[in-house]
Structure 1
């Protein structure tokens, strides 16, 4: 696989809230948070402008809340607040690694973190700060996958790095189907034809329309983000 770090100068990392739990059932795992923050800081040190959209599933998932009787719009709002908690934790963890970072929220809460605007995010990226984007799109009924694709397009990112719990895109769920085949590379159109679950429909439509490559890899190992950028290890590249 290619050394993407040499050709991608601005990236969007999509990080799930669950990735921050470590082996726990919920919340934040300090060692996992430190490991991921070190990886993000290293990407920025290489001169790659690095933005991150983080989910909130380690604290609260809007869909799960709706299933428990909370109306979906309100449940999604609670989920957005969970992403802000994660963003603040990541911001601090990156700064502990000696790299400046800024948390920006699509849901304005200026006493806690900076409200999101395209101009502010581009300014911080240009200064070499890791930009951690919270609050999803700022609207209910949209996932943080959609938020990542939207911000990637808005900020003219060269690629979306989707950090997952599996090492790429498979023809079926590898946990359920031992015969599932992993793809090294495929196109957006091939992913649609084969109905591969890379991102949710709205997110994938934005990436496809804006011709943004998506690199899908596992976040489980230390240094996974930089390894993916270096073309090391297993990953799937989804190309326009």
Structure 2
């Protein structure tokens, strides 16, 4: 008779990644395949200095940031969100500074577990929040705003607080051949700049404050508005 131990085996938890895995550079593959070909048995295996293979040519490379920055759990490095999802860096959590982060297309964040909702009094008043933790290592990361009592705080609903002491900004670097410094590198650089130029909420701008309190703050609209303001200033300077 088999006695049950009462211990249930849990499935291992594997994180989901926001970015594809890195591919190792193949700079030496073609040169190595031609140089390491197996000689024929009918020929002599001895080599002379005149017939020795030429030394391998090392292609010049440079480091490029070809992927967007991500926010990761500080303990296990699981991906949580893209840095472009940061709405504001001026919030306060339990352990000091914190990010206000918008949800992804699915309405949440990557590799997190959400706890039960509870009413909690924060610096800005009473809110209904749910603590969030890393889905891989169970480290507490912050909380999600589920509801807000005051209408002025409703813009936070559905967004997340990530403690800066619990998450880190990860930047991806790759070794790119200089000869490629063309399209792929330029495309990656342009994509990175677009992600990094991710517009962050400006609490000193009255229009942006009004938009975010109304729940209509949009990153693209703000970017166009700022570009328009800059061009207007340049026109005014030229007119003077």
TM-score bracket for the superposition, by shorter chain length:
under 0.3
Which structure has greater strand proportion? Answer: 2
Report the TM-score, using the length of structure 2 for normalisation.
Answer: 0.23
Which structure has the bigger radius of gyration? 2
Which structure has greater helix proportion? Answer: 1
Report the TM-score, using the length of structure 1 for normalisation.
Answer: 0.23
